[in-house]
Amino acid sequence: MEQWRDVVGYEGWYQVSDLGKVRSVDRVVRGARGEPKTLTGKVLKPAANSASDHLGVALCKEGNQRTVCIHQLVMAAWIGPRPKGLEVLHGPNGVEDNSVGNLSYGTHSQKLF
């Protein structure tokens, strides 16, 4: 069964699952004129980075938009912060599988795929 955790730094705004999906959560924000506006959460559609083929999503919080790689969100939420000098490595299922079981922290020289 798929489980969800808050995206680090976007608690109450976005969640990431152990299967590598990202969703926004229901929340109330201020509209253009300051009025409260209810946003309904939804699963975000990932897009491939043209340079690396890694899947990413655009996250927006308080008017600031940032595109982030899903594998980084999964590792931060499910494993913990990235240790200095290490990067997120994908396992045998390749870069399109961002499930926690296909990811690990390691050095660039340990990269298999």
Sign of the dihedral defined by the CA atoms of residues 55, 60, 66, 71, in that order: negative
| pTM of this structure | 0.88
Which residue segments constitute the domains of the chain, with CATH numbers given? Answer: 4-110 (3.90.75.20)
pLDDT at 49: 83
Name the region of 75 (left: φ>0; alpha: ψ -120 to 50; beta: rest): alpha
Give the CA count within 13 Å in the CB-facing half-sphere of 29.
15
pLDDT tier for residue 63 given thresholds of 50, 70 and 90:
confident
Average pLDDT (40-51) is 90
Q: Where are the alpha helices (DSSP H) in 1-113?
A: 70-78
